[in-house]
Amino acid sequence: MWRSTTQAFSNPANQLPEVWRRPEYCHVLTDHWPLRRLCLTTDRLVLRQPTEEELALVADLAASGVHLPGERPFLTPWTDLAPAERALWVMQQHWASRGSWAPDDWSLGLAVFRDEIPVGQVYLGARQFAVLREVRTSSWLGLAHHGQGYGTEARTALLHLAFAELGAEAALSEVFQDNHGSQAVSRKLGYRPDGISRDVLHGEPVISDRLRLTRADWQGHAVQVEGLEQCRSFFGGQ
């Protein structure tokens, strides 16, 4: 009965029925969501899914500023929100990407840590990856952490996961033509022009450069990957 189940879960663990204390029932979050075990480590950075407490710190980082006033680096203008709303948006996007995950349509959100302190967030996403073998990347850094090479290093880790570990054939990105920082990162990593996109932002047309990095142009870097085998099936590619 539902009532007896609810009452049982409200009891301390040592009062649970014996059957629920058997090893086959003793699961933790990572047994059901092994993506929490996935970790990418570079020379200076660690990329992994944050705990709920760490997600709050990532949200606080976004609330404190992601770019200089007057800049418009994102098509979705979430950075125009008030600080508290901006923090909430970051948390909701993280939860949404987890809740909507499917092997043929996924978006992997990872917090970027330097010495256990969050400096930003990155996303690696794909649709029909098993067929198309293409991924998309996006990222942001707290304003205080700009200009230190973290954006390049974090994207290098994502590209290693995509190409070396998941078997991607191409990585795609769309960048506003006046977003010079992101443009520089893409050029440095070997992306080539792949046309333009026209969209509407604040009622005005904006133009983005479509950029593509192929497996042939990708240059690998040393990245340590942990926890992938437990969640490989989540990516739908193999």
Q: Are 137 and 155 in contact (CB under 8 A)?
A: yes
**pLDDT reported for residue 4:** 39
Q: What is the DSSP string of 121-161?
A: EEEEEEESHHHH-EEEEEEEE-GGGTTSSHHHHHHHHHHHI
pLDDT given for residue 62 in this prediction: 94
> Which structure tokens are listed for 57?
């710190």
**In this structure, are strands 204-214 and 39-41 parallel, antiparallel, or unpaired?**
unpaired
CB 45 within 8 A of CB 157: yes
Q: Is the pLDDT of residue 3 over 90?
A: no
Contact status, residue 142 vs residue 65, Cβ threshold 8 Å? yes
CATH for 32-235?
Answer: 3.40.630.30
What is the pTM assigned to this prediction? 0.85
Phi then psi dihedrals of residue 29, to 5 deg: -55, -45
pLDDT digits (tens, 9 = 90+) for 63-111: 998 888 877 777 777 788 899 999 999 999 999 999 999 999 999 999 9
pLDDT of residue 97: 96
| Size of the chain, expressed as the number of residues it contains | 238
The string of pLDDT tens digits covering residues 30-74 is: 888 999 999 999 999 999 999 999 999 999 999 998 888 877 777
pLDDT over 90, % of the chain = 67
Angstrom distance (rounded) from CA 236 to CA 238: 6
Rg of the chain's alpha carbons, rounded to an integer?
20
